[in-house]
Structure 1
Amino acid sequence: MFEWDKECDCLEVSPERVRRLFCSLGDSQVALPGLPSQKSSAYLCVYEGSKGVQVVVVFHLLKSRRLAVYRNSQGEVAAQKLTALLDEGTHFAESLGFRLDDMEFHLLDPVAQRERWDALPLTHGGKDRQNEPAPAGASPSAVAVPSPIFEDLHERRRVFIEKHGRFLATL
C-alpha cells in the first residue's frame, strides 16, 4: 500500500542510489485529497536507502506545480521484496490511469544518469526551473532543464502511442 508523504516535496536522492526509474507515457487527470483535479505525470522510483530499498510513486501535478510523493507503507525493505513492491507500485500508478515506461536509468553511465536525474521534476519539487533566477554565482544554463532529455522522452512516448494505436486497430 502506498501512502502520501505530505512532508516530502521532492526526492533528495543522488542518482547513484537510483536502481530503477519508470515514467508515465502520458499525463492523466488525477484528484488528490485537498488539491484541485488536474493533469499529472507519474514516476515510479526505486532507490537504495540505509536499510534496504525504497519504492515511491511520485505524481508531478502540472497545475499546482508540485509533487505528491507516495511511499510504500513498509518503508525500506530487503532487495528480495523489490519485485512485489514494483508490481504494487505499478498497479497503483496504473489504477490512476498511467502507463509506465522503464527509463532504463540503471543502464546509463554516471554522467548521463546525473543529467537525466537533474532534468526531472523529482529533484526540484515540480517547479519550472527554467523560469527561476539562477543561484548567485551560477550561470543561467546551470538551472535550465536540458531539452534533449525531454525531447527523447517525448519521442519515446510518440512511438509508443503510434505502436499501441496500430495494435488496438487490429482488434
Structure 2
Amino acid sequence: MFNLDERYRGLPATREQILALHTSLNAPHVAIPGKQAGPAQAFVVGLRGGQGTAAVFVYLYLAEAADCAVYLSGRRNVSADEYRDDEGDALAFVESLGFMMDDANWRAMAPEQQDEQLKTLPVFFKDPTLVPAVVARAEEKKNVTTTLGRFLAAF
C-alpha cells in the first residue's frame, strides 16, 4: 500500500544509492488530492538505505503545475526480498493510475548516463520548481509578458 507523503518534494540521491529506476512511457492526466490535475510523469525509484536496507518510492511529476507527489510504502528500510515485493507493488500502483512503465536498467547504464539522469530527471531534484524545463518555461512566460507589455504600451 502506497501513501502520499507531503514531506517529500524530491529524491536527491547519489548514483550509488539508486538500486532501480523505472520511468513512465506516457503522461496520463491524473488528479492527486490537494494538487492541480494534469498530465504527469511517473518514476519508481529504489534507494539503498543504511546497513543493507532499501526503500521504494513512487514519484509523480506534474510539469504544468511545477509540482510533485511522492508516495511511500507502508514499510521502510526493508530487506532484499521485501524490497522486490515493494517494487512490484509500486509498479502495480502506477500502472493502476494509467502509466505504462519502463525499466531504465539503472545498473547497466554507464556512469556518464547515470550522471546525466541525475541532472535531468525531475525525480532527483530537491524541489520540482528547480527542474530546468520549469525554470526555462517561467523565464519564457516572463519574456512574453514583458514583450506584450511593451507592445501594448506603444499604442
Paired residues for 1:74-93 under 5 Å: 74-93=75-94
Number of residue pairs matched by the alignment: 133
The structure whose Rg is larger is: 2
Alignment check: 8 A CA contact 1:47 1:55 kept? yes
What's the TM-score, normalizing by structure 2?
A: 0.79
Whole-Å separation in 2 of the counterparts to 1:122 and 1:131: 13
C-alpha RMSD of matched pairs (Å): 1.6
Q: What runs of 5+ residues in structure 2 fail to find an aligned partner?
A: 137-155
User: Is 2:128 the partner of 1:126?
Assistant: yes
Amino acid at match of 1:11: L
Q: What runs of 5+ residues in structure 1 fail to find an aligned partner?
A: 134-171
Amino acid at match of 2:65: S
- The match for 2:71 is 70
User: Is 2:13 the partner of 1:3?
Assistant: no
| Distance change in 2, residues 1:131/1:4 (3 Å) | closer
* Aligned-residue identity in percent: 26
Alignment check: 8 A CA contact 2:66 2:134 kept? no
Whole-Å separation in 2 of the counterparts to 1:111 and 1:57: 24
Higher helix proportion:
2
Cα shift readout 1:45-84 (whole Å, capped 9, x = no counterpart) = 0110115111001000122112211111101201121221
**Structure 2 counterpart SS, 1:63:** helix
- The match for 2:149 is none
What's the TM-score, normalizing by structure 1?
A: 0.72
Amino acid at match of 2:98: G
